[in-house]
């Protein structure tokens, strides 16, 4: 029997934007080796429409994502917690089975101002920054799995 994939939980305060961008990206590039979820300390109750649009531009559909509370995962074995905003890092509990914790803060595109195009460009920039960081993380996890397979 194949062991369950390790759960990576991505946290942000509102669980409406950055954590969903990261969840969608990490699931698309490492969903074969990791279970990926996101949640928030104070869930907004929706996924930001411009986040959905920015992800669609790179071929990732997060339109079915929902905003969840981080306490929904307290009964799960969460191997790794990644916080993508400062408030979530401070509010984050320890989860059963948690081995790793990373804090990689990103600007909140939901607070962008200016024209519609200016705001969309902030969403694209943050999406691209998240994609670069989480791609490197996924590559590291794959390398780690290869080393373990050889042992």
Could you say which of 50, 84, 85, 88 is catalytic? Answer: 85
Can 12 be counted among the known catalytic residues? yes
Could you say which of 12, 21, 54, 81 is catalytic? Answer: 12
Q: Which of 40, 38, 35, 60 is nearest to 131 (CA)?
A: 60
Chain Cα centroid distance, residue 88: 12
CA distance 140 to 8: 14
Could you say which of 25, 47, 92, 130 is catalytic? Answer: 92
Alpha-carbon distances of 50 from 35, 45, 114, 133, rounded to whole Å = 25, 15, 14, 20
Q: Which of 76, 21, 74 is nearest to 49 (CA)?
A: 21
Can 92 be counted among the known catalytic residues? yes
Helix (H, G, I), strand (E, B) or coil at 100: strand
As annotated, the active-site residues are 12, 85, 92
């Amino acid at each position: 029997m194949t062991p369950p994939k390790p759960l990576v939980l991505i946290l942000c305060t509102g669980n409406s934007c950055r954590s969903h961008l990261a969840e969608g990206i990490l699931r698309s590039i490492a969903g074969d080796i990791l279970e990926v979820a996101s949640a928030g300390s104070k869930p907004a109750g929706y996924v930001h429409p411009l986040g959905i649009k920015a992800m669609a531009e790179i071929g990732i559909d997060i339109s079915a994502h929902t905003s969840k509370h981080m306490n929904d995962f307290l009964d799960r074995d969460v191997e790794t917690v990644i916080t993508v905003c400062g408030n979530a890092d401070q509010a984050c509990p320890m989860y059963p089975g948690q081995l790793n914790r990373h804090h990689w803060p990103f600007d909140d595109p939901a607070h962008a101002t200016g024209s519609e195009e200016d705001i969309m460009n902030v969403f694209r920039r943050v999406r691209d920054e998240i994609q670069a960081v989480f791609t490197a993380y996924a590559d590291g996890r794959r390398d780690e799995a290869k080393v373990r397979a050889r042992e």
